[in-house]
Amino acid sequence: MTSNPTIKRALLSVSDKTGILELAKALADRGVEILSTGGTAKLLAEKGLVVKEVSSHTGFPEIMDGRVKTLHPKIHGGILARRDLQSHLDAMEEHGIGAIDLVAVNLYPFDQATAGDNVKLEDAIENIDIGGPAMVRASAKNYTGVTIIVDPSDYVKVIDEIKSNDGATTLKTRSGLAAKAYAHTARYDGAIAAFLTSLQGTEGALEDTPARIEYPEVLSMQFHKVQDMRYGENPHQSAAFYREAKAPVGLLANYRQLQGKELSFNNIADSDAAWECVKTFDAPACVIIKHANPCGVAVAEGSLNAYLKALKTDPTSAFGGIIAFNRTVDEATAQAVAKQFVEVVIAPAFDEAARAVFFAKQNVRLLEIPVEAGMHKFDYKRVGGGLLVQSPDERNVQQSEIRIVSKRQPTEQQWADLMFAWRCAKFVKSNAIVFCKDGMTMGVGAGQMSRVDSARIASIKAQNAGLTLADSAVASDAFFPFRDGLDVVVDAGASCVIQPGGSMRDDEVIAAANERDIVMVLTGVRHFRH
């Protein structure tokens, strides 16, 4: 067998028809015989291509409503036969089996068929592809002689290679496509396993719509490598960045880098924290992140004003930080940001003038991400030998749900400050205490072992930045276990506090709020972030 056998016969049978016509035409132009089934065969025939139905090739009709059509020795023998073994060639001649040199197959859309909440088990079962994965796996196993394509984005590469390589593909290409094919079937089988193990009460009739549990017995995940990192959190650690196969558009993984050095492990981790926070605001907003914590958050009229306010919170910590905007960055904003040392700037878009400003700072990484709704289905945390899995923290408390527990009632301005502070606290590492006023953070205390220390640090941060905390609002991500933390924030100047409540000493803390004559409201929702 030559290392690169000429393609003489191809089998095309795809669920996703993207680009299949172009591939078929390129093959037909080189005299390749095309086998096909069902909708693919119909499409190609309608476009004037000569197509041989698989049933005609095998001499056996499709049966059982199409469940059995490609599961035949003339198909799998043609795919699996080793061209370098005489015994295989003799068997092909004896049984009238022709070699199949290229297979383009993608599978029934099981994910889409089972995406809803009211999926009938019968519909799910009928969307489990059998013949397709069998052909994919067989072709990938025999990649030394067969080209397998499961992704329409690879058609052009294969077409170009066939044209430049006398009707053949290279072994390097075939081996790469084979690896991709096995990843494709692994993801497909994983989706089926996840669905079936998530069912409850499937003992009933197939037409029933079974209940589904949130966490399946088997959790299958697949991520595609985007890039290797220079190193991990520290230089002695290796690292890489992977993207989910179907990550929602508005998430960080779908960034487009416009300029700058390669992103590092820490850049990506911090950028995610910045983006998740800034996109929750409706008004123009800016978030500055350092070591996964916001060191400045603000809303204002326009991105420039939001940035200038956010920077005031903690200009020292902002040095070398990650900056995110939820609006297009214009020239004035770019000029202000460019005065600082910044690692990454994130926004839905950068106008031409802003791009020109940053062009002079080529080390600054610019990331564009669409502001679109989208959440991970699960959040994950790796532990030794296992994985913690939870739903994402997407609970947004409305003002109407919040209980006023103090004698003093909040003013309209205090309500605005409290709601802003509560939104910011959700993105600060626990224990979190956040002072806010007039749409900006004034002091942030993060990641301390005691809440009272977070309160002290937040007030010290504000003092160091030259900010007054008089009449500020304070958010605590979890309840105050004692009144000491409350006393610290009131002594610093806070006039209103928002917290979840739920402590066995709530009455004591509420009494302290009344004693200090401040507003206190309870959300009933905690936002721990570890």
Active site members: 141, 291
Q: Which residue carries 């420039």 as its tokens?
A: 304
Query: Smallest Cα–Cα separation from 524: which of 501, 504, 506?
Result: 501
Query: Smallest Cα–Cα separation from 260: which of 322, 327, 332, 335?
Result: 322
Beta partners for 322?
Answer: 289, 344
Q: Where does residue 59 fall: left (phi above 0), alpha (psi -120 to 50 degrees), or beta otherwise?
A: left
- Tokens describing residue 167: 């009707």
Mapped onto helix, strand or coil, the DSSP state of residue 440 is: strand
- Ordered strands of the 102-106 beta sheet: 52-53, 33-36, 9-14, 102-106, 147-149
Q: Are 196 and 189 in contact (CB under 8 A)?
A: no
Q: How far is CA 248 from CA 35, 121, 222, 243, 326, in A?
A: 36, 26, 15, 11, 17
DSSP 203: T
Strand locations in 138-231, DSSP E? Answer: 147-149, 199-200, 211-212, 223-228
Total Cβ atoms within 10 A of residue 393? 16
